[in-house]
Chains A and B, each alone.
Chain A
């Protein structure tokens, strides 16, 4: 690929994605201004505008994806496995990861040896144009993860990165708005905009009840019955637009700080949308809970950011030209271009990670020492950032906010709390992957495994249709985390994409059910609805099969592909990774938990479907009033069900997986083996599975998972479909476990006891101190002030006023007495003059006798 093409492609992608990113912001502003005042409450203009923005965004994203593909000649879609398997000069590189039982050879060394030659040709050509560091810089990297064979045979990893706008610069440290575009970004953009488009359109129907001046909220009880308030149609859509802007900004972000900014913006949008029915106490509580739980995670994120800022002095993901040379990004600093960390143990004994340049040379300080970061700090940074992901993706132990977040309108649940926002955590783990050490990855895997199992078990007993889906979401997010943590980078993100499709589909379908049943959400009041709303029922069934991961065994398509929906492929990939990992490292839980989870998932999803759509109606009244939703709502369901079924077509040889694989960090495909010479430093002896190894285990893992899924689905059919076993009896028999699960493993109570109650106690103390000491002091001083002013008043009234009044009275009396003299008779005055004259002379004579 010639450099000129790369550069123009980079600019095209940048502007296309920027348009797709900023359009929703424009929409938000216009809707905010126009919605309330200009268009009025009955207008759907806000919705149309917001749909227009997001659909345009989708078109831009899709064009961007196509442009990228054409520019790279779709090299990503060429058979990776074959390339790796056949054209590789040294098979030992991959074999070393697989060979768990043999002595682990230092694969890094091998990779090192030949990757040095593969200097990215395009990069050198692209840089000189952007030497001026003051200008927003852009760069194209072709990080070669191919073998040392001729470059045009293999697929180079193409990354477009650059700076939109530099916010601040402190020496070499700078904070900027930048972008980082690789195939993951493009796929995420396309997925987010597509699903958001569907959900926006669905929401036009679902939120139409808000197009009124007098919306009756039946869940808020006032002294006059239900609450009546003006509708907030435009507000809903303006928040949706703001959310889309934030989410796309997060995906496009080229540095970890920018990610954090949009991370928080997404959190705020989530807060607004969960609390949309703000008059409902439960909704505002849920909004608060979500926000606060996320803050707990974000605290970790901030710590991670601080470590990165302090030790790396750089937030950029990718390499950027700066100060006339290339400033290596975080990924290059930690992993170089071969994906391997270089460890170094100085005399003091603490292991350190040596910083590299983008061309794999070791970075040095001006005094010639190596630039390093202590290994444990890198672990801490990774754990910190992952803490943020725990909060955002509702992982154990911060998972409790997500079910409560179902208080928001259903389209919000679909978009924000299942398909995209909660996926941001997973996305960030994927994006930040090169920064994670194997220890961090192990933590990620365990968190994911615990979460998926825990949430799945709770979902089994939930009766609210949206709550079931919420727990299912948590569980599936756990799967993704597990996959990423186990080294199945592409598998985890693969599941992220497929899950986004089928979960948004199911949420929208449940929204359609809720809308059709006039806001009844409890499954025990439903049943038999497939006769009333067939389209909703069968699109939902597609989603259920997808998430359950069902396939038709022993029947394959001509290409050797099993007949299955998307969830089968993605979950299969994760389970296969888990199996490989277990074989390499032990950690059996990490395999058996997801395997059990697969069965439970199938069980509760089919339970939901049978409960809602199959059998006889349980509540006649609800059934009678139920109806199929309008086309504006069903249409998106149909479209989404198509994608939920077929987006992962081809599995690991399919289009989507290969697109993702193209962005895979360089360390992943070959697996990772901790360097044995440093094991004495206390590092865990962890080996990450290579592609080859996973591929080898794929069939076995797939079969196991499929069996589990069938078992789960079968149980659900027996219990809820044909009602062969009475569910109530089972509930009776295991009432202890049931209660435990209904209480969500007691997490809310636990947190209540651990944090809320002590806080209340301390707050009680504080308020007591306030009341007794501070208030007492204040009251005493206030009383003293009153007393003093009372005295003051007495003084004023008696002495000051008294003096003035006395003087006045005297003056008056004297004047009154003197006025007697003023007879008004002229004759008297003449006499006075004469007497006065005499008096004056008398005085004169008296005092001056001479």
Chain B
């Protein structure tokens, strides 16, 4: 298998994540979209690590991404909980205080 196949899979994951972020009104769904995007990126890193001279560095970066994604998920969930406590809903469309 060649590099571009993996890259295409990553692209599909990325696009799916973006669409997920853009369409889900549930805050948790948005978070899941973020995880998809990050995972798409991870696949690209690992693929490049395997096929190019990037080598071990790509895997290291993907590990960092995984760790940070986990951290991000924790914080985002905490934010979602806090939001829910205040608004009694998880609908992100209710969080529009930044409207111009």
Contact string, A811-827, partner B, CB cutoff 8 A, digits 1/0? Answer: 00000001111111111
B96 to chain A, nearest CB (A): 3
A-B contact pairs, 18 of them (CB 8 A): A822-B98, A823-B96, A824-B97, A824-B98, A824-B99, A824-B100, A825-B99, A826-B21, A826-B92, A827-B23, A827-B24, A827-B25, A827-B92, A827-B93, A830-B18, A830-B21, A830-B22, A831-B22
Q: Please, which residues of chain B bring their CB within 8 A of the CB of A769?
A: none
Q: Return chain B residues, CB-CB under 8 Å to A828.
A: 22
* Contact residues in B for A823 (Cβ distance below 8 Å): 96, 99-100
Asked whether any CB of chain A lies closer than 8 Å to the CB of B1, the reply is: no
- Residue numbers in B under 8 Å from A830 (CB-CB): 18, 21-22
Q: Does B95 contact A (CB under 8 A)?
A: yes
Cross-chain contact B22 with A824 (CB below 8 angstroms): no
Interface string of B82-93 (1 = CB under 8 A from A): 000000000011
Can you name the residue of chain A whose Cβ is closest to the Cβ of B34? Answer: A830
Q: Which residues of A contact B23 (CB under 8 A)?
A: 827
* Cα–Cα distance between A819 and B92 once the two chains are bound (Å): 20
Query: Closest B-chain residue to A827, C-beta based?
Result: B22
Q: Which residues of A contact B96 (CB under 8 A)?
A: 823-825
Interface of A is mostly: helix
Query: In the complex, what's the smallest C-beta–C-beta distance from A376 to chain B, in angstroms?
Result: 105
- Chain B positions near chain A (C-beta within 8 angstroms): 18, 21-25, 30, 92-93, 95-100
Q: Is A834 an interface residue (CB 8 A)?
A: yes
Cα separation A823 to B94 with both chains bound (whole Å): 11
Shortest Cβ distance from residue A821 to the other chain B in the assembled complex, whole angstroms = 7
Q: How far is the CA of A821 from the CA of B93 in the complex (A)?
A: 15
What mask results when residues 673 to 709 of chain A are scored 1 for a CB within 8 Å of chain B, else 0? 0000000000000000000000000000000000000
Q: How many residues of A contact B (CB 8 A)?
A: 14
- Residues of A near B100 (CB, < 8 A) are 818-824
Q: Which residues of A contact B98 (CB under 8 A)?
A: 822, 824
CB distance from B29 to the nearest CB of A (A): 10
A834 touches B93 (CB 8 A): no
Q: Chain B contacts of A818 at CB under 8 A?
A: 100
- A822-B21 contact given A827-B30, A827-B93, CB 8 Å threshold: no
Q: Please report the C-alpha to C-alpha distance between residue A826 and residue B96 in the assembled complex, in whole angstroms.
A: 8
* Cα(A821)–Cα(B24), bound, Å: 19
Contacts of A820 in B (CB 8 A): 100
Give the CA-CA distance A822 to B100 in the complex, in Å.
Answer: 5
Q: How far is the CB of A584 from chain B (nearest CB, A)?
A: 123
Cα–Cα, bound, A407→B24 (Å): 111
Which residues of A lie under 8 Å from residue B95 when comparing CB positions? 824-826
Report the bound CA distance from A820 to B96 in whole Å.
13
Distance in angstroms between the alpha carbons of A822 and B98 in the assembled complex: 7
**Minimum CB–CB distance for A815 against chain B, Å:** 9
Cα–Cα, bound, A834→B96 (Å): 20
Q: A819-B100, A820-B100 are in contact. Are A825 and B93 (CB under 8 A)?
A: yes
The CA-CA distance from A834 to B99 in the complex, in Å, is 20
How many angstroms between the C-alpha atoms of A828 and B96 in the bound complex?
11
Interface residues of A in 801-850 (CB under 8 A from B): 818-828, 830-831, 834
Query: Which 9 pairs, one residue from A and one from B, show the smallest C-beta to C-beta distance?
Result: A822-B100, A824-B99, A819-B100, A824-B96, A824-B98, A830-B21, A831-B22, A830-B22, A825-B96
Which A residues are in CB contact (< 8 Å) with B24? 827
Distance in Å: Cβ of A475 to nearest Cβ of chain B:
106
How does the 8 Å CB contact mask read for A641-659 relative to B, with 1 for contact and 0 for none? 0000000000000000000
Nearest Cβ on chain A to B72's Cβ, whole angstroms: 15
Q: What separation, in Å, do the CA atoms of A822 and B30 have in the docked complex?
A: 19
